[in-house]
Amino acid sequence: FALRELFWKLIRFFYWGPVFKARCESVGKNLMITLLPHVSGPLRLYLGDNVHLNGFFGATGSRMFDNPILRFGNDVHVGHMVQFVVNKEIVIEDGVKIASNCSFADTDGHPLDPQRRANDEPPEPDSVKPIRICRNAWIGNGARVLKGVTVGEGAVVAADAVVVKDVPAFSVVAGNPARVVVEDVRLKAAGVL
């Protein structure tokens, strides 16, 4: 067991880490990865300090706009099997925790018009809307965050929620589509609610 663990640590340190860092625009201190992340397309990736990518991590950039950006702040933890589809910009601020099996996409991926879809045309450029996950938010297992959404500071997105509109700061949302189920987690934790 110890030899196997040593082998994987050496692979991460001498191969996966340098290969992934070379693909990024900037990388802060103490990056931790457990598997080689899969990054494709013309994506510009910025990572802050103490970013943890635990398991498979996928990020795809589109050619719809020049230089799509995926930006992680400091102390961001990302679970296994998390996917990002970036056409313009997705920002993950400091202290955000993202559980496993989550996905983020700043576009629908295909046009709404069936004829344009049949012709394999891209979506309209004005249908692409950036995503922002604010400081200390927590995205639960299997959640889907769709285009144009801002998840407020300290908010919680429950497991398997599909987020289609902004989430107020310090609230909890759940369901499909996600709705506010707790107005202010600070008051709930203090026993006021």
Query: Which residues form the catalytic set?
Result: 110
CA–CA distances in Å: residue 44 to residues 6, 109, 150, 163, 171:
32, 19, 20, 25, 31
- Which amino acid belongs to residue 167? V
Phi, psi (rounded to 5 degrees) for 91: -120, 125
Helices of type H across the chain: 2-11, 17-23, 114-118, 185-189
Q: What distances in angstroms separate CA 193 from CA 168, 184, 186, 190, one per listed residue?
A: 17, 8, 9, 8
Whole-number Å distance between alpha carbons of 81 and 135 = 22
Rounded Cα distance, 128 and 140, in Å:
24
Looking at 56-123, list the stretches that DSSP marks H as alpha helix, in order from N- to C-terminal side.
114-118
Helix (H, G, I), strand (E, B) or coil at 39: strand
